[in-house]
A and B are shown apart, each in its own frame.
Chain A
Amino acid sequence: SQELEQSPQSLIVQEGKNLTINCTSSKTLYGLYWYKQKYGEGLIFLMMLQKGGEEKSHEKITAKLDEKKQQSSLHITASQPSHAGIYLCGAVRPGTYKYIFGTGTRLKVLA
Chain B
Amino acid sequence: SAVISQKPSRDICQRGTSLTIQCQVDSQVTMMFWYRQQPGQSLTLIATANQGSEATYESGFVIDKFPISRPNLTFSTLTVSNMSPEDSSIYLCSGQKTGNTGELFFGEGSRLTVL
Whether B104 contacts A45 by the Cβ 8 Å rule is yes
Whether B111 contacts A40 by the Cβ 8 Å rule is yes
User: Does B94 sit within 8 A of A, measured CB to CB?
Assistant: yes
User: Does B42 sit within 8 A of A, measured CB to CB?
Assistant: yes
Chain B, residue nearest A103 (CB):
B42
Q: How far is the CB of B12 from chain A (nearest CB, A)?
A: 15
Chain B 1-45, CB within 8 Å of chain A: the 1/0 string?
000100000000000000000000000000101010000111101
Which residues on the A side are within 8 Å of B96 (C-beta)? 99
Chain B 78-109, CB within 8 Å of chain A: the 1/0 string?
00000000000010101010011101111111
Whether A42 contacts B42 by the Cβ 8 Å rule is no
Q: A41-B108, A42-B107 are in contact. Are A88 and B100 (CB under 8 A)?
A: no
Contact of A88 among B33, B43, B45 (CB under 8 A): B43
Whether A45 contacts B103 by the Cβ 8 Å rule is yes
Which residues on the B side are within 8 Å of A42 (C-beta)? 4, 92, 106-109
User: Does A12 sit within 8 A of B, measured CB to CB?
Assistant: no
Taken together as a complex, chains A and B put the C-alpha atoms of A42 and B90 apart, in Å, by 9
Whether A48 contacts B103 by the Cβ 8 Å rule is yes
Which residues on the A side are within 8 Å of B42 (C-beta)? 88, 101-104
Whether A99 contacts B109 by the Cβ 8 Å rule is no
Extra 6 A-B pairs, beta carbons < 8 Å, given A30-B100, A31-B101, A92-B101: A33-B104, A42-B4, A43-B94, A88-B43, A97-B48, A99-B94
- Footprint of A on B, CB under 8 Å? 4, 31, 33, 35, 40-43, 45, 48, 58, 90, 92, 94, 96, 99-101, 103-109, 111
Closest 9 CB pairs of A and B: A104-B42, A42-B106, A42-B108, A92-B100, A43-B106, A101-B43, A97-B100, A101-B42, A103-B42
- Footprint of B on A, CB under 8 Å? 30-31, 33, 35, 40-43, 45, 48, 50, 88, 90, 92, 97-104, 106
